[in-house]
Structure 1
Amino acid sequence: MKPMLIAPLCLTALLGACTEMGTNVDPILDGAPNAQFQSDLSACRSLARSQKQLDQETMAAAAIGAGIGGILGEVDDEGDALGGAVVGALAGAAAGASEASDTRETIVLNCLRGRGHTVVN
Protein backbone atom coordinates (compact mmCIF):
# COMPACT_ATOMS: atom_id res chain seq x y z
CA MET A 1 0.00 0.00 0.00
CA LYS A 2 1.39 3.38 -0.91
CA PRO A 3 2.27 5.90 1.84
CA MET A 4 -0.22 8.39 0.38
CA LEU A 5 -3.06 5.94 1.13
CA ILE A 6 -1.71 4.84 4.50
CA ALA A 7 -1.61 8.33 6.03
CA PRO A 8 -5.32 9.16 5.67
CA LEU A 9 -6.31 5.67 6.82
CA CYS A 10 -4.09 5.88 9.90
CA LEU A 11 -5.30 9.39 10.68
CA THR A 12 -8.93 8.28 10.38
CA ALA A 13 -8.32 5.26 12.61
CA LEU A 14 -6.50 7.40 15.17
CA LEU A 15 -9.26 9.98 15.36
CA GLY A 16 -11.95 7.30 15.37
CA ALA A 17 -10.31 5.71 18.38
CA CYS A 18 -10.37 9.08 20.14
CA THR A 19 -14.09 9.66 19.73
CA GLU A 20 -14.93 9.21 23.41
CA MET A 21 -11.64 10.50 24.80
CA GLY A 22 -12.10 13.12 27.45
CA THR A 23 -15.84 12.63 27.79
CA ASN A 24 -15.73 9.56 30.02
CA VAL A 25 -14.01 11.35 32.88
CA ASP A 26 -15.16 10.18 36.31
CA PRO A 27 -15.22 13.38 38.35
CA ILE A 28 -14.26 13.39 42.00
CA LEU A 29 -16.85 15.16 44.11
CA ASP A 30 -16.40 16.85 47.46
CA GLY A 31 -19.30 15.16 49.19
CA ALA A 32 -22.01 12.80 48.11
CA PRO A 33 -23.63 13.22 44.70
CA ASN A 34 -27.20 14.49 44.73
CA ALA A 35 -30.11 12.92 42.86
CA GLN A 36 -29.54 15.13 39.80
CA PHE A 37 -25.83 14.23 39.42
CA GLN A 38 -26.11 11.31 36.97
CA SER A 39 -28.46 13.25 34.71
CA ASP A 40 -26.17 16.29 34.79
CA LEU A 41 -23.11 14.12 34.14
CA SER A 42 -24.78 12.61 31.08
CA ALA A 43 -25.76 16.04 29.76
CA CYS A 44 -22.26 17.43 30.35
CA ARG A 45 -20.68 14.46 28.57
CA SER A 46 -22.99 15.05 25.59
CA LEU A 47 -21.95 18.69 25.55
CA ALA A 48 -18.28 17.67 25.55
CA ARG A 49 -18.84 15.19 22.70
CA SER A 50 -20.05 18.07 20.57
CA GLN A 51 -16.49 19.45 20.70
CA LYS A 52 -14.94 18.24 17.45
CA GLN A 53 -11.80 16.11 17.58
CA LEU A 54 -10.78 17.10 14.07
CA ASP A 55 -10.74 20.85 14.60
CA GLN A 56 -8.47 23.55 13.15
CA GLU A 57 -5.88 23.08 15.88
CA THR A 58 -5.64 19.34 15.21
CA MET A 59 -5.32 19.94 11.48
CA ALA A 60 -2.67 22.62 12.08
CA ALA A 61 -0.71 20.27 14.33
CA ALA A 62 -0.89 17.57 11.64
CA ALA A 63 0.29 20.02 8.97
CA ILE A 64 3.17 21.26 11.10
CA GLY A 65 4.11 17.67 11.93
CA ALA A 66 4.04 16.76 8.24
CA GLY A 67 6.29 19.71 7.40
CA ILE A 68 8.82 18.93 10.10
CA GLY A 69 8.71 15.21 9.33
CA GLY A 70 9.20 15.87 5.63
CA ILE A 71 12.22 18.06 6.28
CA LEU A 72 13.76 15.56 8.68
CA GLY A 73 13.04 12.71 6.27
CA GLU A 74 14.77 14.60 3.45
CA VAL A 75 17.81 15.45 5.59
CA ASP A 76 18.24 11.88 6.85
CA ASP A 77 20.53 9.82 4.62
CA GLU A 78 18.32 6.74 4.77
CA GLY A 79 14.95 8.52 5.05
CA ASP A 80 12.62 10.01 2.52
CA ALA A 81 10.57 13.19 2.68
CA LEU A 82 7.22 11.47 2.08
CA GLY A 83 7.72 8.88 4.82
CA GLY A 84 8.82 11.59 7.23
CA ALA A 85 5.82 13.71 6.32
CA VAL A 86 3.44 10.81 6.96
CA VAL A 87 4.97 10.03 10.36
CA GLY A 88 5.06 13.73 11.25
CA ALA A 89 1.42 14.22 10.27
CA LEU A 90 0.35 11.27 12.40
CA ALA A 91 2.36 12.53 15.37
CA GLY A 92 0.94 16.04 14.96
CA ALA A 93 -2.61 14.73 14.67
CA ALA A 94 -2.13 12.60 17.78
CA ALA A 95 -0.92 15.64 19.70
CA GLY A 96 -3.88 17.68 18.47
CA ALA A 97 -6.34 14.91 19.38
CA SER A 98 -4.80 14.72 22.84
CA GLU A 99 -5.31 18.46 23.28
CA ALA A 100 -8.94 18.12 22.15
CA SER A 101 -9.39 15.31 24.68
CA ASP A 102 -8.11 17.57 27.47
CA THR A 103 -10.52 20.27 26.33
CA ARG A 104 -13.41 17.81 26.44
CA GLU A 105 -12.52 16.74 29.98
CA THR A 106 -12.40 20.38 31.07
CA ILE A 107 -15.82 20.95 29.49
CA VAL A 108 -17.34 18.06 31.48
CA LEU A 109 -15.85 19.25 34.78
CA ASN A 110 -16.75 22.92 34.26
CA CYS A 111 -20.26 22.00 33.14
CA LEU A 112 -20.80 20.03 36.35
CA ARG A 113 -19.47 22.93 38.41
CA GLY A 114 -21.82 25.24 36.58
CA ARG A 115 -24.74 22.99 37.50
CA GLY A 116 -23.86 23.30 41.19
CA HIS A 117 -21.81 20.16 41.80
CA THR A 118 -18.69 20.50 43.94
CA VAL A 119 -16.14 18.90 41.59
CA VAL A 120 -12.59 18.51 42.88
CA ASN A 121 -11.29 16.91 39.69
Structure 2
Amino acid sequence: MKMIFAGCAMLVTVAACSNSFDEPLLTDGPKQVGYEADLGACRALAEGHTEKTLQSGAVTGAVIGGIIGAVDSKDGDRADDALVGAVLGGGVGALEGQSERDEQRRTILIRCMQGRGHRVLA
Protein backbone atom coordinates (compact mmCIF):
# COMPACT_ATOMS: atom_id res chain seq x y z
CA MET A 1 0.00 0.00 0.00
CA LYS A 2 2.89 2.35 0.77
CA MET A 3 4.18 1.73 -2.74
CA ILE A 4 0.87 2.80 -4.28
CA PHE A 5 0.89 6.08 -2.37
CA ALA A 6 4.56 6.69 -3.17
CA GLY A 7 3.92 5.97 -6.84
CA CYS A 8 0.93 8.29 -6.96
CA ALA A 9 2.94 11.03 -5.28
CA MET A 10 5.68 10.64 -7.88
CA LEU A 11 3.14 10.74 -10.73
CA VAL A 12 1.63 13.96 -9.40
CA THR A 13 5.07 15.52 -8.94
CA VAL A 14 6.23 14.67 -12.45
CA ALA A 15 2.89 15.62 -14.00
CA ALA A 16 3.08 19.03 -12.33
CA CYS A 17 6.20 19.90 -14.31
CA SER A 18 5.44 22.36 -17.07
CA ASN A 19 5.81 21.56 -20.74
CA SER A 20 8.88 23.68 -21.51
CA PHE A 21 8.46 23.16 -25.26
CA ASP A 22 5.25 25.22 -25.31
CA GLU A 23 6.60 28.11 -23.26
CA PRO A 24 7.44 31.31 -25.20
CA LEU A 25 11.02 31.94 -26.19
CA LEU A 26 12.99 34.65 -24.39
CA THR A 27 14.61 36.93 -26.95
CA ASP A 28 17.25 39.62 -26.59
CA GLY A 29 15.85 42.78 -28.11
CA PRO A 30 13.03 43.25 -30.61
CA LYS A 31 11.88 40.37 -32.78
CA GLN A 32 13.48 40.39 -36.21
CA VAL A 33 11.70 40.21 -39.55
CA GLY A 34 10.59 36.68 -40.30
CA TYR A 35 10.58 35.68 -36.63
CA GLU A 36 7.08 34.15 -36.65
CA ALA A 37 7.69 32.21 -39.88
CA ASP A 38 11.01 30.91 -38.57
CA LEU A 39 9.40 30.04 -35.25
CA GLY A 40 6.75 27.97 -37.03
CA ALA A 41 9.35 26.17 -39.14
CA CYS A 42 11.59 25.50 -36.13
CA ARG A 43 8.66 24.24 -34.04
CA ALA A 44 7.73 21.84 -36.84
CA LEU A 45 11.33 20.60 -36.95
CA ALA A 46 11.41 20.12 -33.17
CA GLU A 47 8.00 18.42 -33.10
CA GLY A 48 9.28 15.90 -35.61
CA HIS A 49 11.62 14.61 -32.91
CA THR A 50 11.30 10.87 -32.39
CA GLU A 51 8.98 9.28 -29.82
CA LYS A 52 11.63 6.78 -28.69
CA THR A 53 12.43 8.81 -25.57
CA LEU A 54 8.85 8.54 -24.32
CA GLN A 55 8.51 4.84 -25.17
CA SER A 56 11.82 3.77 -23.64
CA GLY A 57 11.05 5.67 -20.43
CA ALA A 58 7.72 3.87 -20.04
CA VAL A 59 9.21 0.42 -20.68
CA THR A 60 12.18 0.99 -18.36
CA GLY A 61 9.89 2.35 -15.64
CA ALA A 62 7.53 -0.63 -15.94
CA VAL A 63 10.37 -3.15 -15.66
CA ILE A 64 12.00 -1.42 -12.70
CA GLY A 65 8.64 -0.85 -10.98
CA GLY A 66 7.69 -4.51 -11.44
CA ILE A 67 10.97 -5.69 -9.94
CA ILE A 68 10.69 -3.32 -6.98
CA GLY A 69 7.06 -4.32 -6.42
CA ALA A 70 7.94 -8.02 -6.36
CA VAL A 71 10.98 -7.59 -4.13
CA ASP A 72 9.24 -5.19 -1.74
CA SER A 73 6.21 -7.46 -1.29
CA LYS A 74 5.45 -7.76 2.43
CA ASP A 75 2.32 -9.89 2.28
CA GLY A 76 3.75 -12.54 -0.04
CA ASP A 77 1.50 -11.63 -2.97
CA ARG A 78 4.41 -10.85 -5.27
CA ALA A 79 2.44 -11.06 -8.53
CA ASP A 80 -0.06 -8.35 -7.52
CA ASP A 81 2.66 -6.14 -6.08
CA ALA A 82 4.79 -6.61 -9.21
CA LEU A 83 1.82 -5.65 -11.40
CA VAL A 84 1.09 -2.53 -9.35
CA GLY A 85 4.78 -1.65 -9.45
CA ALA A 86 4.92 -2.15 -13.22
CA VAL A 87 1.86 0.04 -13.83
CA LEU A 88 3.10 2.83 -11.56
CA GLY A 89 6.65 2.54 -12.86
CA GLY A 90 5.43 2.63 -16.44
CA GLY A 91 3.40 5.76 -15.75
CA VAL A 92 6.25 7.52 -14.02
CA GLY A 93 8.68 6.43 -16.74
CA ALA A 94 6.36 7.70 -19.47
CA LEU A 95 5.99 11.08 -17.76
CA GLU A 96 9.75 11.36 -17.27
CA GLY A 97 10.29 10.38 -20.90
CA GLN A 98 7.82 13.05 -22.02
CA SER A 99 9.57 15.65 -19.91
CA GLU A 100 12.95 14.68 -21.38
CA ARG A 101 11.50 14.72 -24.90
CA ASP A 102 10.05 18.21 -24.36
CA GLU A 103 13.41 19.44 -23.10
CA GLN A 104 15.14 18.01 -26.18
CA ARG A 105 12.54 19.61 -28.44
CA ARG A 106 13.03 22.98 -26.73
CA THR A 107 16.79 22.70 -27.27
CA ILE A 108 16.23 21.93 -30.96
CA LEU A 109 13.83 24.89 -31.24
CA ILE A 110 16.28 27.33 -29.61
CA ARG A 111 19.24 26.17 -31.70
CA CYS A 112 17.17 26.33 -34.89
CA MET A 113 16.08 29.89 -34.14
CA GLN A 114 19.64 30.91 -33.28
CA GLY A 115 20.84 29.28 -36.50
CA ARG A 116 18.40 31.47 -38.41
CA GLY A 117 19.91 34.60 -36.88
CA HIS A 118 17.45 35.30 -34.05
CA ARG A 119 18.82 36.31 -30.66
CA VAL A 120 17.08 33.70 -28.53
CA LEU A 121 18.29 33.37 -24.94
CA ALA A 122 16.06 30.58 -23.62
With the shorter chain as reference, the TM-score category is: 0.7 to 0.9
2:34 to 36, 41, 45: 36
CA offset at residue 90 of structure 1?
A: 1.1
User: What is the match of residue 49 of structure 1?
Assistant: 47
Q: Structure 1 length as normaliser, TM-score? A: 0.73
Q: Structure 2 length as normaliser, TM-score? A: 0.73
1:66 to 62, 69, 76: 62
CA offset at residue 76 of structure 1?
A: 2.3
Q: 107-116 or 25-34, which moves further after superposition?
A: 25-34
CA offset at residue 44 of structure 1?
A: 0.6
User: What is the match of residue 112 of structure 1?
Assistant: 113
CA offset at residue 84 of structure 1?
A: 0.8
Give the alignment of 1:13-32 within 5 angstroms.
21-32=19-30
Unaligned runs of 5+ in 2: 1-18
Give the alignment of 1:77-96 within 5 angstroms.
77-78=74-75, 80-96=81-97
Task: Give, as a single letter, the amino acid of the residue that structure 2 aligns with 1:59.
Answer: Q
The structure with more helix, counted as a fraction of residues: 2
Q: Could you say what secondary structure the match of 1:80 adopts?
A: helix
Once residues 114 and 25 of structure 1 are traced to their aligned partners in structure 2, the CA distance between those partners, rounded to angstroms, is 19
Once residues 47 and 23 of structure 1 are traced to their aligned partners in structure 2, the CA distance between those partners, rounded to angstroms, is 12
CA offset at residue 65 of structure 1?
A: 1.2
On the 8 A contact 1:23/1:49 being kept in 2, the answer is no
CA offset at residue 31 of structure 1?
A: 1.0
Identity %: 38
